[in-house]
């Protein structure tokens, strides 16, 4: 079983839709949590950190549930430019990033 | 401010050969991590270098080795290449921070194809 599990998708949604991605992690010692975005054939880039209190950045909201070992990302009012793969990432040691497989999002006109 | 750079961009090798990939970290960063991303998968941690020493290592065989130079740049070497080594190799740089996570910035990657 992978340490970080994600639904690979693809999620095909129309512009303006709200879409939610979920992720679970198996190691309760995980310390920090992130969502990264990766465009096709490009490098991953940090989208946002995830906290138990939840955090919001414009149209993006991330939430962490430590008891359930569950992380979510909500994208509101989807744009064509949101089309990408969204990677759920956790850390246990200080700097080693542990990635999920990624969830592919395709937003269509 | 230059970001993380990697060379070469693409590389084609045959089974059994050896390859060296290079990475220059973002200005001011002293820590370099290497990741392997196979097609359709998330990146997997290979190892991390700080102060010219391997600080952490993932679940990769000894065929994968690295080096960090005094200017913080780094190399990843892979010996006895296998078909399964075909992947995008990503370098990420950061500032070492003890128990506090510091954001890792990724380079554009080197796409290695093993025939």
Q: pLDDT per residue over B29-62, tens digit each?
A: 999 999 999 999 999 999 999 999 999 899 999 9
Residue reference for tokens 């979510």: A72
Tens of pLDDT, residue by residue over A34-85, are: 999 999 989 999 999 998 888 999 999 999 999 999 999 999 999 999 999 9
Task: Please tell me the distance in Å from B31's CA to the nearest CA on chain A.
Answer: 10
CB contact under 8 A, A94 and B108: no
Overall size of chain B counted in residues: 115
Tens of pLDDT, residue by residue over A6-25, are: 988 899 999 999 999 999 99
A-B Cβ pairs (cutoff 8 Å, strict): 57
Chain A residue numbers touching B103 (CB-CB < 8 A): 46
Q: How far apart are CA B78 and CA B25, in angstroms?
A: 20
Nearest to B88 by CA among B58, B23, B43, B22: B43
| Beta strand pairing call for B31-37 and B87-94 | antiparallel
CB contact under 8 A, B48 and A95: yes
Quick check: B44 and B37 in contact, CB under 8 A? yes
């Amino acid at each position: 079983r992978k340490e970080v599990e994600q639904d690979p998708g693809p999620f095909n949604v129309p512009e303006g839709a709200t879409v939610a991605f979920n992720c679970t992690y198996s190691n309760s010692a995980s310390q920090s949590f992130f969502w990264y975005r990766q465009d096709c054939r490009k490098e991953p880039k940090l989208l946002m950190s995830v906290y138990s209190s939840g955090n919001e950045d414009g149209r993006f909201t991330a939430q962490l549930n430590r008891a359930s070992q569950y992380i979510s990302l909500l994208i509101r009012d989807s744009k064509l430019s949101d089309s990408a793969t969204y990677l759920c990432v956790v850390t246990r040691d200080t700097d080693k990033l542990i990635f999920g497989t990624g969830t592919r999002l395709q937003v269509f006109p | 401010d230059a970001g993380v750079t990697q060379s070469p961009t693409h590389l084609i090798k045959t089974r059994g050969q050896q390859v060296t990939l290079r990475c220059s970290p973002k200005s001011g960063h002293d820590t370099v991590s290497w990741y392997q991303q196979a097609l359709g998968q998330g990146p997997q941690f290979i190892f991390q270098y700080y102060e010219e020493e391997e600080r952490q290592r993932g679940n990769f065989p000894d065929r994968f080795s690295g080096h960090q130079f005094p200017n913080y740049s780094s190399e990843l070497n892979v010996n006895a290449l296998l078909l399964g080594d075909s992947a995008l190799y990503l370098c990420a740089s950061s500032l070492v921070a003890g128990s506090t996570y510091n954001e890792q910035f990724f380079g554009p990657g080197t796409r290695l194809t093993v025939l």
